[in-house]
Amino acid sequence: MSCWQTIQDYALRSIGLGERLLPREDFTLCQQVTLIGSGMIWNIYFGVLAIILGFGLATLVAVGKASPNRLLQKPSAWFIYIFRGSPLFIQFFFAYAAFLNLKSVYPVFDAFTAAWLGALIVLFLNTAAYSGEIFYGALRSIPKGEVEAADAYGFSGFTRFRRIIWPTMLRLAWPAYTNEAIFLFHATTLVFFSAFPAWQQRGDALYYANYFADKTFNPFVPYPILAGYFILLTLAVISVFGLANRRLNRHLPQERRARMRFRPNIIR
């Protein structure tokens, strides 16, 4: 089988398109690269949707924690504390057990026991908590002069938040938020170790890398391939978020625009 035929058969296998059976013997490098790349579709799916949904919730949580109203402040603070204070790995298992018990009572929760929805919810809530704390710190760091200037121009309420406070918050939080987005994409590999099952052997990239490592007894081929895919994905995230950062700072003179620097968290 040629490499091109392998790509046609397995490139979309993780989403149910193409060859149904996994190769059993005579594994080629092209098969490993193709199938691990196919699994990356799920990692990208988890990461992109969790970031999009988590961004909105993180903004609400940050505003709630900064609110003087205790009915908004306390739930927001506890939400951040619980999801930042517990390991993501444990959150996966707790969520799966909860959805499984709810499924036995309410059949509508059947979909929540699948990785495509249940694991996504966990990642969404987890990144919303971390991002909410980042946004909260940015809200506390907004110069008072900008808020006073907004009041002097007659801005108030939601208009002041939308046109002054929220853009400034994003400019201050964006470098740290970029790092959180990178960590989130890396954290999608934990779905493989969670209790959420892979349906019909249609797993993520780590699922296929582990499959080839077990079959060939050689982890030094599939796992570097997996690492290479995530390095490329990280570069893509940095590029996209860098464009957004330049958009947020487009009003500043060129020499005053803060260049976004990638500073990975070694210990989290």
**Token pair belonging to 134:** 């980042």
Q: Which of 108, 96, 112, 119 is nearest to 49 (CA)?
A: 119
In this predicted structure, the answer to whether residue 231 has a pLDDT above a threshold of 80 is: yes
* pTM score above 0.85: yes
- Per residue in 51-105, pLDDT tens? 999 999 999 999 999 999 999 999 999 999 999 999 999 999 999 999 999 999 9
Residues 6+ apart with CB under 8 A from 250: none
Band (pLDDT 50/70/90 cuts) for residue 49 is very high
Band (pLDDT 50/70/90 cuts) for residue 256 is low
Task: Judge whether 164 and 91 are in contact, CB under 8 Å.
Answer: no
CA dihedral for 64, 69, 72, 75, sign (positive or negative): positive
Inter-axis angle of helices 3-10 and 29-66, nearest 10: 40
In this predicted structure, the answer to whether residue 2 has a pLDDT above a threshold of 60 is: yes
Task: Judge whether 212 and 32 are in contact, CB under 8 Å.
Answer: yes
d(CA 177, CA 170): 9
Give me the mean pLDDT over the 38-56 stretch. Answer: 96
Task: Judge whether 6 and 28 are in contact, CB under 8 Å.
Answer: yes
Give me the mean pLDDT over the 9-18 stretch. Answer: 92
